[in-house]
Structures are given as structure tokens and as C-alpha cells.
């Protein structure tokens, strides 16, 4: 008996020594031979922006597969799913004030809106809708303004006064706050959890209903173009999409920086004749109705039929080149797997990298993948029991401060132990979650199916304040040392999950939480 105990203790010590050696080699490869910034350069500078359905996104996925193949990954492929909408990209945009003064304007074209009919010049009107109207109030207002917008460029809404930020947000998450959020006994809630827009008062239209009717009104009334106020400080612009994805249901639409929208609205209010010269050239791609996830693998050994997945969304919005959201997540994901290949470990389980599309339109690519490969806890597919865990990286360029995993507390314990050696890189721990609500990013597609999806929470840096979905989301906003640290932590977690005797603990059938409705995203103005 004593001999058996001694042998077991020796095995534990040997395993610990192996883990320490692998962690040291991961650190060295991540810092001395990093490929992250080169990968990010190609994804952003060469293929950005990567709007879902666009040829840019497909080309980025094809390049990523080829690159991972050069590192020794196998089974690289594009896996298709039905997006259902033609792809779209802006090819050229210029706008200038030509009266009462000549000056260039700064803006971004709204996705899935049409081109102008060549270069056009027209006078400007400012259409200020009633606030939170009833249907009768909106119908009356639009009827009264039909002639006013015909042949005009229309500024929609009042100029938004953006208050000066007197207390800037910290770029680093305070360590005490990070530990509080990842306290395994009583975690503090994230400030971004389950944010939902207000419900309109009875009898009042929602912002989406107003916008849909306004778009139709502008088309039917013969407006030349629509301008929206970006409503953000220091020239930041977020441009999303025409909700219908149907170009015939919108006029050419531009989101102007707040400073330009304000200037034009003041000129109009001062009864000065204002004219704008506008040239918008957009392209549509019918083949974009089929979109793709890019996948590649490092084969496993004795547990090769089981899989550890790591992933990030490759698609982006189009106002910039999609660096912090989420080219860097894709680059870190590729790098973490590359590190394990480069240091020569032989994983027991197959390691599978997945770069998702359609995340920005509602996690569509990862949802399609989970449905096709795994099914759900209630209706499992043939691969459902093969997944040892999926770890996702998103939300910018800060260091990883903690992990969340869908599953029992024992699952978080496994992850907490895996990241302990990397406390010097800022990671404080891991907690478990019982939520099957989708929203936020792609690991929740796995959670909704009852699978162990792992989310990463990062330092805020400039993500929510400057780069998230804005025209400032470029290569220059990446902190190289931080993303090297991200890749280090991800590689170590993936290695742990690939080598364990057992998969991550899951809820039993009896313990499995019920499916929750998706989180409602904040309302996006057209």
C-alpha cells in the first residue's frame, strides 16, 4: 500500500514538472518568436475590413487556413453556412460641403445601402422627428414633409451634444476589482451583463419601427441621401447596417462624425442655403449569401476523437480594418495553437482552431457550427460528447484577467489551476456560469447548447471608449506585449484541456439549466 502511494506521488510530481516545463516553453516561444503582429497585419491591412458575406472575409479565411497549414496544421477547410444576404462593401466615398463654404466631410457609409447615382450635388434639409411618436403622430409628420425631402440630402435627427468626459475610464482593470469578479464563491457581476434597451411606452413606436418607416418614406419621397449623426466624441464613427439588408429599401446613407453633423445642422438652422456634393460607390456580392468559418487542426494522439477548440470571430464591421474587434482575437487564436505546434508537444486530444464569420450579425457562424457538429443537450448530435471545451477570445487588446466557463464549479477549478502559473501576466482566476443565454460573443453559442464554452475577460483598454465598432479600430491600437500575454495564457489552457485524462466537467442531464432567450442587443440606429 505504501509503495502504491509513493508511486502515485511520484507520478503527480512528474506531471507537475512536465507542466512547468511546457509552460516555460510556451512563454519563451510566445515572447521570442511571436507571429501575432505579422498575422494581424495581413488580416487588417491586407484583408480588412472583413464584413460578413464580403470577398474580403472569405479571402482572409482562405489565407488563415494556408498560413496555419504552413505551420503544420492539418485538415484546414472553409465550412459553409447560409447567411442568406448578398455580401456588400463600400468601394468609394467622398462628401464635401460646397455651399455656403467649401470643406471636406468625414463619414462612413451604412452597410447594405445603395450607391448614389454617380457624383451628386443637392441642398440639405434637417428632418427632426417627434420623440417616441405614436403611429398616428409619425404618419402625420411624414406626410407633412414629403415635398420637403424630395431631391434633397436629409440630415435625420437633432445634433447630439456629446458631453466631455471629465473622468476617463481606466485602461487597466483594477486588480482588486478583477479578483472580485472572479471570486469563485461570490463573484461580482460584470458591468456589461445583460444590458437591454428600454421597452417603448404603450402606444409608442420603438426606434427600430420608426427607422424602418423613415427609410421607406425617404425612398418613396425621392430623397437623394440620408445623413445620420455618429453622436460620439473626437470624430469617432460607428456605422452598422440597413436592418433589412435590402438595398431597395433605403437611400444612400452616411454616418457623419458628430462635429460635421453639428456644423451642417447649425448652418441649416441659421437659414443659410447648404449644399453637399456626395459620391458613394458600393458593391454587392450575391455569392455572399453563403458564408464560411475557417477551421484547421493539430491532430491528437490517444484521445484524437475528442477535441479541444479555440476560436475567435474573423468578421468585422467596415468603418475600419477590424483590429481590436476582432482581428487580434483571430491572430491570438492562431498564435496560441502555433505555439503548441512549435514547441513540439503531442496533444492527446485534437486541437481545433475555428475562425467564425457572422458574429457581428448575431453569432451566426458559431451558432451554425454548433448546430451542425454538436446539437444541443436536449437533442445531441454524434459529436456532442467529443468536445472537451471551447475557449474564445474577443473584446480587444488588453491582458486576460479571468475566465468564465459554462459548467459546474469543478470546471472552473480546472481552469483556475491552469492559469495560476500566469498570475504575473494579470490573470486572476476563473468562475463557472449556469447561463445558456446567447449574446456578447461566440462562446455563448456553445453555452446555449449546454457545452463548456469558455469566455475571456480582458482589460478594457480603449475598447468600449474608442475602438469597438468605430473608424479607429486599426492595427495601431494593439498593445503588442498584452496580446503576447493573451496567446501565452490561451496556449497553456488549451494544452491543459488537451492533456487531461477527463474532459472538462459538465452539468449532468438532471443539473442542466434551461435554455434562456437571447440577450437583446442595444438598439442600433440606421
Q: Summarize pLDDT for 114-124 with one digit per residue, the tens.
A: 999 999 999 99
Distance CA 181, CA 188 (A): 4
pLDDT of 526 higher than 60:
no
pLDDT the model gives residue 522: 43
CA nearest 366: which of 477, 491, 453, 424?
453
pLDDT of 26 higher than 80:
yes
CA angle 355, 73, 416 (to 5 degrees): 65
- Look at 382 and 524; give whichever has higher pLDDT: 382
Q: Which helix (H) or strand (E) holds 17?
A: helix 2-32
pLDDT the model gives residue 17: 76
Do residues 474 and 322 touch, judged by C-beta distance below 8 A? no
Distance CA 380, CA 320 (A): 39
pLDDT the model gives residue 19: 80
Q: What is the 3-state secondary structure (H, E, C) of 355-400?
A: EECCCCCCCHHHHHHHHHHCECCCCECCCHHHEEEEEECCCCCCCE
**418-449 pLDDT per residue, tens:** 999 999 999 999 999 999 999 999 999 999 99
Q: What is the pTM of this model?
A: 0.94
User: Phi and psi for 248 in degrees, rounded to 5?
Assistant: -75, -10
Distance CA 75, CA 299 (A): 9
pLDDT the model gives residue 167: 87
Q: At what angle do helices 328-342 and 55-70 cross, to 10 degrees?
A: 10
Do residues 35 and 335 touch, judged by C-beta distance below 8 A? yes
pLDDT the model gives residue 194: 55
Question: Within 10 Å of residue 6's Cβ, how many Cβ atoms?
Answer: 10
Task: List, as one string, the DSSP characters of 420-479.
Answer: GGGGGGT---EEEE------SSTHHHHHHTTS-EEEEEE--TTIIIIITTBTT-SGGG--
**347-365 pLDDT per residue, tens:** 999 999 999 999 999 999 9
% the chain with pLDDT above 90: 89
**376-402 pLDDT per residue, tens:** 999 999 999 999 999 999 999 999 999
Do residues 167 and 494 touch, judged by C-beta distance below 8 A? no
Q: Which residue has the cell 458559431?
A: 366
% the chain with pLDDT above 70: 94
Residue 187 C-alpha from the chain's centroid:
25
Do residues 507 and 410 touch, judged by C-beta distance below 8 A? no
126-140 as b/e, with b when 16 or more CB fall inside 10 Å?
A: bbebeebbeeebbee
Do residues 384 and 391 touch, judged by C-beta distance below 8 A? no
Beta-bridge mates of residue 308: 351, 389
Distance CA 329, CA 60 (A): 14
Half-sphere exposure at residue 20, Cβ-oriented, CA atoms within 13 angstroms: 6
pLDDT of 494 higher than 70:
yes
Mean of all residue pLDDT scores within the chain: 94
Mean local confidence (pLDDT), 191-201: 65
Distance CA 12, CA 10 (A): 5
The C-alpha cell at 97 is 460641403
Distance CA 488, CA 43 (A): 20
CA nearest 401: which of 452, 454, 442, 456?
456
pLDDT the model gives residue 168: 84
Task: Quickly state the pLDDT bin for 155 (edges 50, 70, 90).
Answer: very high
pLDDT of 15 higher than 80:
no
User: Phi and psi for 105 in degrees, rounded to 5?
Assistant: -110, 150
Distance CA 114, CA 88 (A): 10
Mean local confidence (pLDDT), 22-36: 98
Q: What is the CA radius of gyration of the chain?
A: 25
Distance CA 444, CA 451 (A): 9
Mean local confidence (pLDDT), 215-240: 98
Three-state secondary structure call for residue 488 = helix
Mean local confidence (pLDDT), 132-137: 96
pLDDT the model gives residue 7: 47
pLDDT of 314 higher than 70:
yes
Distance CA 121, CA 94 (A): 12
pLDDT the model gives residue 226: 98
| Burial group, residue 163, by CB count within 10 angstroms (0-12, 13-18, 19+) | exposed
Task: Quickly state the pLDDT bin for 196 (edges 50, 70, 90).
Answer: low
Mean local confidence (pLDDT), 259-281: 98
**97-115 pLDDT per residue, tens:** 999 999 999 999 999 999 9
User: Phi and psi for 491 in degrees, rounded to 5?
Assistant: -60, -40
pLDDT of 37 higher than 60:
yes
Task: Quickly state the pLDDT bin for 60 (edges 50, 70, 90).
Answer: very high
Amino acid at each position: 500500500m505504501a509503495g502504491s502511494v509513493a508511486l502515485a506521488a511520484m507520478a503527480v510530481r512528474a506531471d507537475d514538472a512536465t507542466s512547468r516545463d511546457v509552460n516555460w516553453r510556451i512563454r519563451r516561444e510566445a515572447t521570442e518568436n511571436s507571429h501575432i503582429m505579422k498575422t494581424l497585419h495581413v488580416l487588417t491591412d491586407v484583408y480588412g475590413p472583413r464584413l460578413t458575406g464580403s470577398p474580403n472575409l472569405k479571402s482572409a479565411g482562405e489565407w488563415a487556413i494556408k498560413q496555419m497549414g504552413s505551420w503544420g496544421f492539418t485538415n484546414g477547410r472553409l465550412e459553409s453556412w447560409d447567411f442568406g444576404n448578398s455580401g456588400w462593401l463600400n468601394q468609394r466615398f467622398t462628401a464635401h460641403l460646397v455651399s455656403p463654404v467649401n470643406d471636406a466631410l468625414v463619414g462612413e457609409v451604412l452597410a447594405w445601402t445603395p450607391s448614389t447615382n454617380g457624383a451628386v450635388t443637392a441642398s440639405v434639409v434637417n428632418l427632426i422627428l417627434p420623440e417616441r411618436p405614436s403611429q398616428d403622430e409619425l404618419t402625420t409628420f411624414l406626410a407633412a414633409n414629403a415635398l420637403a425631402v424630395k431631391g434633397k440630402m436629409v440630415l435625420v435627427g437633432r445634433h447630439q451634444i456629446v458631453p466631455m468626459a471629465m473622468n476617463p475610464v481606466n485602461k487597466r482593470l483594477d486588480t482588486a476589482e478583477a479578483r472580485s469578479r472572479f471570486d469563485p464563491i461570490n463573484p461580482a457581476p460584470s458591468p456589461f451583463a445583460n444590458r437591454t434597451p428600454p421597452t417603448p411606452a404603450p402606444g409608442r413606436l420603438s426606434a427600430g419601427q420608426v427607422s424602418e418607416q423613415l427609410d421607406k418614406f425617404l425612398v418613396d419621397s425621392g430623397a437623394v441621401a440620408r445623413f445620420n449623426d455618429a453622436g460620439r466624441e473626437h470624430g469617432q464613427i460607428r456605422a452598422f447596417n440597413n436592418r433589412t439588408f435590402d438595398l431597395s429599401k433605403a437611400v444612400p446613407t452616411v454616418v457623419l462624425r458628430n462635429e460635421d453633423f453639428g456644423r451642417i445642422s447649425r448652418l441649416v438652422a441659421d437659414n443659410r442655403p447648404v449644399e453637399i456634393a456626395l459620391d458613394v460607390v458600393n458593391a454587392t456580392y450575391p455569392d455572399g449569401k453563403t458564408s464560411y468559418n475557417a477551421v484547421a487542426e493539430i491532430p491528437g494522439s490517444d484521445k484524437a476523437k475528442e477535441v479541444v477548440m479555440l476560436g475567435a470571430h474573423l468578421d468585422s464591421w467596415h468603418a475600419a480594418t477590424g483590429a481590436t474587434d476582432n482581428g487580434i482575437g483571430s491572430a491570438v487564436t492562431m498564435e496560441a495553437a502555433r505555439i503548441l505546434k512549435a514547441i513540439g508537444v503531442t496533444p492527446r486530444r485534437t486541437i481545433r482552431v475555428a475562425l467564425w464569420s457572422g458574429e457581428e450579425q448575431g453569432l451566426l457562424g458559431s451558432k451554425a457550427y454548433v448546430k451542425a457538429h454538436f446539437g444541443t443537450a436536449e437533442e445531441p448530435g454524434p459529436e456532442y460528447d467529443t468536445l472537451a471545451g471551447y475557449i474564445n477570445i474577443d473584446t480587444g487588446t488588453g491582458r486576460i484577467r479571468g475566465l468564465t466557463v459554462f459548467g459546474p464549479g469543478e470546471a472552473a477549478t480546472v481552469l483556475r489551476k491552469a492559469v495560476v502559473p500566469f498570475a504575473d501576466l494579470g490573470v486572476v482566476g476563473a468562475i463557472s456560469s449556469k447561463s445558456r443565454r446567447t449574446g456578447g460573443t461566440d462562446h455563448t453559442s456553445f453555452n446555449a447548447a449546454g457545452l463548456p464554452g469558455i469566455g475571456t475577460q480582458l482589460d478594457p483598454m480603449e475598447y468600449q471608449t474608442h475602438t469597438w465598432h468605430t473608424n479607429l479600430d486599426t492595427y495601431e491600437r494593439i498593445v503588442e506585449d498584452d496580446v503576447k500575454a493573451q496567446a501565452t495564457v490561451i496556449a497553456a489552457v488549451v494544452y491543459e484541456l488537451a492533456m487531461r485524462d477527463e474532459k472538462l466537467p459538465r452539468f449532468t442531464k438532471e443539473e442542466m439549466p434551461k435554455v434562456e432567450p437571447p440577450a437583446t442587443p442595444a438598439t442600433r440606429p440606421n
